[in-house]
Amino acid sequence: MTAMSVRGRVLVFAFLLAVITYLDRICISAAAPAIMDELHLSFVQMGLVFSAFTLAYSLFEVPSGWLGDVRGPRRVLTRIVLWWSAFTMLTGAARGFLSLITIRFLFGAGEAGAFPNVARSFSRWFPMRERGRANGVLFLGSRLGGMLSAPIALLLIARWGWRTSFVLFGVLGILWSAAWSAWYRDRPEEHATMTPAELAWIRQDRTSDADAPTPWTALLRFRNLYAICAMYFAFGYGLYFYFTWLPTYLIRVLGFSKFRGGLFAALPFLLAGIADLSGGLLTDRLSRTRGLRVGRCYLGFAAFMSGALFLLASTFAVSPVLKAILIACALASADLALGACWAVPLDVAPGHAGVITGCMNTLGNIGGLVGPLVVGIAVDRWGSWTFPFYITASVYAAGSLAWLTIDPTLRLSPAAAAPRASEVS
């Protein structure tokens, strides 16, 4: 993929979208201590606020992904980004628990479908051999956004207060949506700067079902769908601790200053970004040389199981710095499989990427909904931060086993016997 290729520019847009998505999503975790103090919220109430976003995000993932399949990512992503940017700004206007939880629910409803629509875009703009790499770059952007969110938000909060920080973060999405709508096209052949050579490369493994209606009955009977969703539930359960409670844990439990806490809150996302890019390249390389099962499933198993072990090890560490580093390594380990996570739905259902990644991300965010609540309840009722880590390590381990039940060569098909995808060559 050359730097000046049209699909390379599509990837730049996707990268920037991921950065902005996570800046807007995670800034509330850095603001949580200030919000709890000003609005007089308990740990359980703040956990419900975190989960309100995740609940709405989960409910609207499949509809928004399906809209991307039907109407195209150009229009749908423009709507998504404008909506969530508006409610990011409105978060700064919250006056109490009820208004805050309502705004965050509507924010989640708006942001739902962002990544399934990017996946739909990738299914049209990238051949199979480049999809792991493309997803690696995409999630590098998400982790860069996560890495920058906490320190930037803490700096803005210290200077102008938490309310202003949400307004400033929201402006970024409005600028992105205007540029996306003006430049992007849903079909590569419709883009004015597309060359015949690049179009041929993009279409090298285009399947005949690329524009077929969604086969809902076949989808519900598709065993890969349930294995993929189970795997991503585990990923989402572990991930949302880093989006929600990590800055609070670092500052109030491990005793770091706000500055050092911001740095250690950024560390997991820095390491995860490196892992995303490396994992995207690795899953494509292994898929070409060893087959899809090794490149997707075995890589996923090893990454999730390692994440479980790192998280478990953090509970035995005495040094706060070592605890923070091990927790960061747990996210990076799981993220090594993130390119494979998002490539598998494109392997098994390239013509229905919006729907199947929407289903996958719905279960991931249901995991993300449960995780922060478990932490909030454990801390509020039992004063324990360790017990939730044991649970998360167990969930990661279960997710690693779910990877082994996925068959990435089995395609979704309305026919009774689904054809198997050829291995990536």
CB contact at 8 A, 259 and 370: no
Q: Flag whether 211 is in a domain.
A: no
Give pLDDT, residue 415: 53
Per-residue confidence (pLDDT) for residue 3, from 0 to 100: 46
Domain that holds residue 298: 8-184+217-403
Q: How far apart are CA 24 and CA 89, in angstroms?
A: 9
Does residue 414 sit within a domain?
no
Nearest to 385 by CA among 394, 377, 393, 375: 375
pLDDT at 357: 82
Q: 3-state SS string over the chain?
A: CCCCCHHHHHHHHHHHHHHHHHHHHHHHHHHHHHHHHHHCCCHHHHHHHHHHHHHHHHHHHHHHHHHHHHHCHHHHHHHHHHHHHHHHHHHCCCCCHHHHHHHHHHHHHHHCCHHHHHHHHHHHHCCHHHHHHHHHHHHHHHHHHHHHHHHHHHHHHHHHCHHHHHHHHHHHHHHHHHHHHHHCCCCHHHCCCCCHHHHHHHCCCCCCCCCCCCCHHHHHCCHHHHHHHHHHHHHHHHHHHHHHCHHHHHHHHCCCCHHHHHHHHHHHHHHHHHHHHHHHHHHHHHHHHHCHHHHHHHHHHHHHHHHHHHHHHHCCCCCHHHHHHHHHHHHHHHHCCHHHHHHHHHHHCHHHHHHHHHHHHHHHHHHHHHHHHHHHHHHHHHCCCHHHHHHHHHHHHHHHHHHCCCCCCECCCCCCCCCECCCCC
pTM: 0.73
CB of 148 within 8 A of CB of 266?
yes
Tokens of 220: 């519900």
pLDDT value for 414: 60
Distance CA 304, CA 30 (A): 26
Residue 417 pLDDT: 39
The amino acid at 67: L
CATH number at residue 232: 1.20.1250.20
In a domain, 279, yes or no: yes
Question: Is position 205 within any domain?
Answer: no
In a domain, 285, yes or no: yes
Give the residue from 144, 126, 114 showing the smallest Cα distance to 10: 126
On whether residue 106 sits in a domain, the answer given is: yes
Q: What is the full per-residue pLDDT of the chain (425 aa) written as tens digits?
A: 444 688 889 999 999 998 888 787 777 877 888 888 899 988 788 878 887 887 888 888 878 877 877 888 899 999 999 998 999 899 989 989 999 999 999 998 888 878 888 888 887 888 877 877 888 888 888 888 877 877 788 788 888 888 888 888 889 999 999 999 999 998 888 888 888 888 888 888 765 444 567 777 888 888 899 999 999 999 999 998 987 888 888 988 898 887 788 788 889 988 998 998 899 889 989 998 999 999 999 999 999 999 999 999 999 999 999 999 999 999 999 999 998 998 898 888 877 777 788 889 889 988 988 888 888 888 888 888 888 999 999 999 999 999 999 998 888 776 533 445 544 43
Number of domains in the chain: 1
In the prediction, which pLDDT does 177 show?
A: 93
Q: Crossing angle for the helix pair 162-183 and 73-91, nearest 10 degrees?
A: 170
314, part of any domain: yes
Closest CA to 78 of 188, 184, 191: 184
Could you tell me if residue 417 is inside a domain? no
Q: What pLDDT score does 59 carry?
A: 85
Cα separation, 148 vs 134, in Å, equals 21
Asked if 136 and 340 touch (Cβ cutoff 8 Å), the reply is no
